[in-house]
């Protein structure tokens, strides 16, 4: 058994991930061996074909889903480090539209402070 700092995705994480990337449903099953540790980086880097596609995927999240995701971003459990810049811009726009400008600005500040992708 190895110890890692990253979180294990919860049922709620998986629910949001599948809304963003329905095609990943099979890969997120308990015994799949392919464990994502965040939601947005794999959607940005592996599932969304473009910034426009990423933005369309965000439209699958209702206000409660989006607020839940914002809460994970702000508490540090959801990584933004590897999210493509244009996808991040789409996320900020969506948050501002659905939730509030101030919330979008808070997430943007968190993203800018989070630094580069850890590979």
- All residue ranges of the chain with pLDDT < 70 are 1-7, 25-35, 116-119
Please state, in angstroms and rounded to a whole number, the distance separating the CA atoms of residues 110 and 1: 32
Residue 52 domain flag = yes
In a domain, 64, yes or no: yes
Residue 119 lies in a domain: no
pLDDT tens per residue, range 37-50: 889 998 998 899 99
- For 54, what's the count of Cα atoms within 13 Å in the CB-facing half-sphere? 24
Q: Quote the pTM value.
A: 0.81
Whether residue 58 contacts residue 90, with contact meaning beta carbons closer than 8 Å, is answered with yes
Range of the domain at 56: 11-114
Instruction: Please tell me the distance from the alpha carbon of residue 56 to that of residue 35, in angstroms, as a whole number.
Output: 24
Q: Is residue 5 part of a domain?
A: no
| Domain-embedded: residue 2 | no
| The pLDDT value given to residue 23 | 82
Q: Is residue 4 part of a domain?
A: no
What total of structural domains would you count in the chain?
1
Q: Is 92 part of any domain? A: yes
- Tell me, yes or no, whether 78 lies in a domain: yes
């Amino acid at each position: 058994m190895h110890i890692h700092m990253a979180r294990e995705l919860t049922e709620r994480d998986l629910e949001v991930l599948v809304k963003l990337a329905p095609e990943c449903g099979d890969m997120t099953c308990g015994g799949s061996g392919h464990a994502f540790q965040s939601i947005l980086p794999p959607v940005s880097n592996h599932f969304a074909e473009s910034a426009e596609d990423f933005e369309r995927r965000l439209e699958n999240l209702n206000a409660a889903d989006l607020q839940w995701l914002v809460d994970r971003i702000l508490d540090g459990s959801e990584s933004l480090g590897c999210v493509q810049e244009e996808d991040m811009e789409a996320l900020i726009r969506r948050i501002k539209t659905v939730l509030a400008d101030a919330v979008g600005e808070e997430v943007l500040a968190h993203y800018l402070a989070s630094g580069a992708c850890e590979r």
